[in-house]
Chain A
C-alpha cells in the first residue's frame, strides 16, 4: 500500500510543477489547471484510502468523507456564482480557508504531541510556527476579503502599528521564554496563546494597508499559506505537502516583489501601510493647472479621424461596469480599420493581472492587451490615448517631480501620444492623493462624465457618422 501512496504523491508533485508551468502560457493554461487539479484529487483520494485501508469504518472516516463532499460542492458553487470583479475577494477567501486549516491542524496535533509525552522541542516549534503562519494568513485573508468587498475600511492609527509590532515580538519571544522555562506554560496553553496572538496579528497587519496595495497583500498572504503548508509537511514527513507548499511560497514571494516593483514601493513600506504623505501639497502646478475640456462629440470626431488608438483602463472602468462598452467601442473602431490596443499597467485592478481578466470577460482578445513595457517606447505612434478609470499610473509626475509621493513608479507614458483624453467624473485625485500633472499638458483633454455614459455616448455618435 505504501508504494501506491508514494507513486501517487510523486505523480501529484509532477502535476503541480506541470500545472504551474502551463499556467504561464495562455494556450496551455487551461490544461495546466486540469492537470494540477487531477494530481491533487489523486493525492487526496489515495491519502484517504491509504490511511484508513483495512481498518473498520470509524466515525473519523465518515466525517472526513462528509467534509470532503461538502467542501467540494460548496467550493464549486461559490466559484460559479462569483463575478470577475470579485475575484480578488474570492481568492482571499479560499486562501483564508487554507490558513484556517493550518491553524486547526496545529491545535489538534499540539494536543496529540502533549498527550503523547514525547519531549521534542524542535518538533513543537515547527508545529507552532506552521500554526502561527497559518493563523496570520487566515485572519489576514479574512480582513483582506472584507476590505475588498468594501465591508472594512483602512485603519491607520498609531495604535494599530504599535500593536502589530508588539504582537510580532511576542510571537517570537513566547516560544523562547517557554523553552528556557521563564514562562511556565504547558504545550496546549502555549499553542492557544500563540494561536490567538497570530490571529490578532493577521488582523492588525492588514488593517492599515490601502486599496492600491491590495495586490501585494493578497499575493503575500497566499505565499504565507504556502509556507505554513510546507512546515506542516515537515511535521508529517509528507514530501508532497513540503514541495507543494514551497512551490506556492516561493512563487508567491516572487509575485509579491514583482508587484512592489511595479509600484515602486518597497515591501516594507507596503507592510507598514505608509505612504510618503509628508510631501503632499508641495505644489508643482496645483490649483492653477490649466485644463482643457472636451466633449463626447469632439472625442467621437477625433476618434473617427485617427488611425491608431490606445485604451488605458483602470479599476475605475470595472467599478463603472463599462468593460463591455469598451469592447463595443473597440470593435466599432476596428470595423472602420482603426487599430486599437489596450495598455495595461501591471498593478491595474485589485490583484495581480486582474485588469486582464476583467477585459477578457468582456471578450477582449488577449492579443489586444499590451503590457506597459512593450509599448512605452513608441507611445507617440498612437493618435489618441483614452484613459478610463486610471489616474496615478499615467501621472508624469512619477518621472519628473522628485518630491511627488509616486516619484519613481513606472508609468504608462500616455503623454507621449498625440492626444490624451481622460474620462473621469470630476477633478478628484487618484489613490495616491496627488495632483495629476498630465491634466495640465497641452495635448491632454478631460471629459468629465461617468465612464459608462461617456463610452455609450461616443459609440452612439460614431454610429451616426459615416467615415
Chain B
C-alpha cells in the first residue's frame, strides 16, 4: 500500500518541493487579495473529491451504509469545490467593478 513512500526518494522530493512551491507562490500576495486567495485555496483542497470518487468505486453495490457515506463524501467534496470557486469569483468581481 505504501510503496509510494517506500518507493525511493522521489516522493519525498516531490512533497518537499510542493511545500516550498506553496509558500513561494503566495509569499507576495498583497493584503487586498488575502480573502480571495484564502477562498481560492479553500476551493483547491476540494480536490479530495477525486479520492471520494475512487473510494466510491470500490464500495460494493449492496453495501448501503457505505454507499450513503460515499454519496455524502462526494456531495461535500463537490460543495467545497463549486462553492469555493464561485465565491472567489464573486469576491473578485467586487474588485473589478469600474467606477
Interface residues of A (CB under 8 A from B): 12, 16-17, 19-21, 23-26, 29-30, 32-34, 36-37, 40, 43-44, 47-48, 51-52, 58-60, 63-64, 66-68, 70-72, 74-76, 78-80, 82, 84, 87, 90-91, 93-95, 97-98, 100-102, 104-105, 107-109, 111-112, 118, 120, 122-123, 126, 218-219, 222, 225-226, 228-230, 232-252, 254-255, 344, 346, 351-354, 356-357, 360-361, 363, 365-366, 369, 371
Chain A residues in 8 Å Cβ range of B78: 67-68, 70-72, 75
Beyond known contacts A29-B95, A91-B39, A248-B45: 14 more, CB 8 A cutoff: A16-B47, A17-B25, A19-B44, A63-B74, A67-B75, A74-B79, A90-B87, A91-B42, A94-B79, A100-B76, A226-B41, A238-B54, A240-B50, A352-B38
Which residues of B pack against A, CB within 8 Å?
Answer: 1-2, 4-5, 14-15, 18-23, 25-59, 61, 66-67, 69-97, 99
**Complex: how many Å from CA A346 to CA B67?**
45
| Nearest CB on B from A58, distance (A) | 6
* B44 x A108 contact (CB < 8 A): no
Q: 19 A-B residue contacts at CB 8 Å?
A: A24-B37, A29-B92, A30-B92, A37-B89, A60-B57, A64-B71, A82-B90, A94-B39, A94-B84, A94-B87, A97-B83, A108-B66, A120-B1, A126-B2, A226-B44, A243-B14, A255-B38, A352-B34, A365-B99
Q: A24's contact among B28, B52, B76, B94, by CB below 8 Å, is which? A: B28
Q: In the complex, A21 Cα to B37 Cα: how many Å?
A: 9
Contact across chains for B25 and A105 when beta carbons are under 8 A apart? no
Q: Are A59 and B55 in contact (CB under 8 A)?
A: no
CB atoms of A20 and B26 under 8 A apart: yes
* Cβ-defined contact, B94 with A250, below 8 A: no
Q: Indicate if the CB atoms of A78 and B83 lie closer than 8 Å.
A: yes
Per DSSP, are chain B's interface residues mostly helix, strand or loop, or mixed? Answer: helix
- Across the interface, which residues of A come within 8 angstroms of B45, CB to CB? 98, 222, 225-226, 228-229, 244-245, 248-249
Q: Are A40 and B81 within 8 A (Cβ)?
A: yes
- Determine the chain A residues whose CB is within 8 A of the CB of B47 once the complex forms: 12, 16, 40, 43, 229, 240-241, 244-245
Q: Are A40 and B44 in contact (CB under 8 A)?
A: yes
- The listed residue with most B CB atoms (<10 A of its CB), out of A16, A40, A43, A251, is A251
